[in-house]
Amino acid sequence: MSGGSAGSGRPSSSVEEFPRNRAQCAFMGRRRDWIRLLAVAAGYAVAFVALQRVMPFSVASPWFVIVAMICFLGLAFVAQPLMMIRMPGPLRAVRAWEVERGLYRAIGVPVFGRVLRSTPLRLFNVDVYLRNGLGDRARVGAELEAAEASHFWAAAFVVPYMVYLSLRGMWVPLFWVSLAQVLINAYPVMHLRLTRHRLERIVSRMESRRTRL
């Protein structure tokens, strides 16, 4: 009887170990993500202090604001395994007038996308590309929106500073910050929205074909 009870106890212990090991793996992965995020943030802080000692500059400088905006994008990307940033609710849906009435084409958004895909710039975020065909669409859709939201919030944080520059009549710094906003945030946001729209359209076409069959 004792051997039977011991034998019956082995499967239950292995069953109990499986969720425990899975929880441990999830905990270790999350801790690794936090360590990576904190390490990147610390690296940015050390670089800021070192640069400030070598080349003193004001935090109100437009160049500091541009660099801080880029650092925010870097931190947002590293933080994605911990928290996927989302667009504000009213802005999540891609409107028809954005992509179907020639606006994006007229201002060169498709050209911007081709430049990204055909140059090393595409390596900045390889997670927004399909790896396993349309079976990857859920993951890629979430990654596209997270990247779009990162650029949106980076642009939003700089807007008060742009208002400050305009009120002070500091037109040259305002020009450079505005140019950075367009190239680093505005065009990437529009490109990502256009890509999301194309992905959703392809998926809807496939689903409609399946229903017909």
- Taking only the tens place, the pLDDT of each residue in 30-51 is 788 888 888 888 888 888 888 7
Please give the share of the chain, as a percent, with pLDDT higher than 70.
77
Q: Is the pLDDT of residue 13 over 70?
A: no
Q: Do both 46 and 64 map to the same domain? A: no
**Number of domains composing the chain:** 2
Q: Is the pLDDT of residue 8 over 60?
A: no
Q: Is the pLDDT of residue 114 over 60?
A: yes
- Domain around 95: 58-212
| C-alpha 25: how far from chain center | 24
Average pLDDT, the chain: 80
φ, ψ of residue 169 to 5 degrees: the values are 70, 25
Q: Do both 50 and 90 map to the same domain? A: no
- Report residue 134's pLDDT band, with 50, 70 and 90 as the boundaries: low
Please give the pLDDT value at position 20. 62
Q: Do both 75 and 172 map to the same domain? A: yes
Q: Is the pLDDT of residue 182 over 70?
A: yes
Average pLDDT over residues 193-200: 85
Q: Do both 102 and 207 map to the same domain? A: yes
CA distance 66 to 174: 11
Q: Do both 87 and 191 map to the same domain? A: yes
